[in-house]
Amino acid sequence: VHGKEEAEKALLLDRINPTFEAYAKEVIDSKLQDNSINDVTYESYESNLNNHIFPHLPKDIKVSDVAAYHVKFILKSIEGSRTRNYTYTVLNIIFQEALFEHLISANPCQFVRKPKHESEHAEVITPDNYQAIMSEVKGTQWEYAFNFALHTGCRRGEICALRWRDIDLDAGLVKITTAQKKTKRKGQYEGTTKSAYSVRTLPLA
């Protein structure tokens, strides 16, 4: 009986003050389960935690013991500004949840400036590029896929998920509602578009 009580007490303490690693995994798992994030985003969060966050924190550190200097140390260990910015976002999401659940009294990220990331402007295809690409694939099945992609601006996952029911040739319209995706956990599957705003109806050339 005594051993059972001790085990239950230990379990309760772990729930009241979990390790950062256990809690971070719990947060992203719950977000996936309640559809706050999709499988691709989940895998991205998971990869960031495993590659850039967990290795730079003391083993079994409690979520309540992570301080601003830990966050700074993690960010300093990352070379790319884009990854630093993203890692800060992941940490902030986890600590915001911990704050909401009263597991911590303050979010350590609020005492660390969010790393800046200068967005790179995407290169726009030129008429010469277009003609060069189309001449390379002319006469092949790729000609149709490239032509469709260049005229609609659809993502490749969206194109791969298209069905005849999505296309209205009489009206000259195509509906984009799904996308082919691939994750380590699920393999290749048909899912939602990148965001709710990506669901759209486009005119066909």
For 17-53, write each residue's pLDDT tens digit.
Answer: 899 999 999 999 999 999 899 899 999 999 999 999 9
Check pLDDT > 90 for residue 56. Answer: yes
Residue 2 confidence (pLDDT): 56
Q: How confident is the model at residue 6 (pLDDT cuts 50, 70, 90)?
A: low
**If DSSP codes are grouped into helix, strand and coil, which group holds residue 66?**
coil
Encoded amino acid at 79, one letter: E
Residue 101 confidence (pLDDT): 95
8-state DSSP, 205 = -
Q: Which long-range CB contacts under 8 A does 145-153 form with residues at least 24 apart? A: 147/205, 150/125, 151/204, 151/205, 152/202, 152/204, 153/202
Q: How confident is the model at residue 13 (pLDDT cuts 50, 70, 90)?
A: low
Six-digit token string for 108? 């350590």
Does residue 38 contact residue 124 with C-beta atoms inside 8 Å? no
Encoded amino acid at 205, one letter: A
For 58-87, the pLDDT digits (tens) are 999 999 999 999 999 999 999 999 999 999
Check pLDDT > 90 for residue 111. Answer: yes
Percentage, residues of the chain above pLDDT 90: 71
Residue 14 confidence (pLDDT): 58
For 118-170, the pLDDT digits (tens) are 777 778 888 899 899 999 999 999 999 999 998 899 999 999 999 999 999 99
Helix axes 39-48, 81-100, angle to 10 degrees: 100
Report which secondary-structure segment, H or E, holds 178: strand 178-183
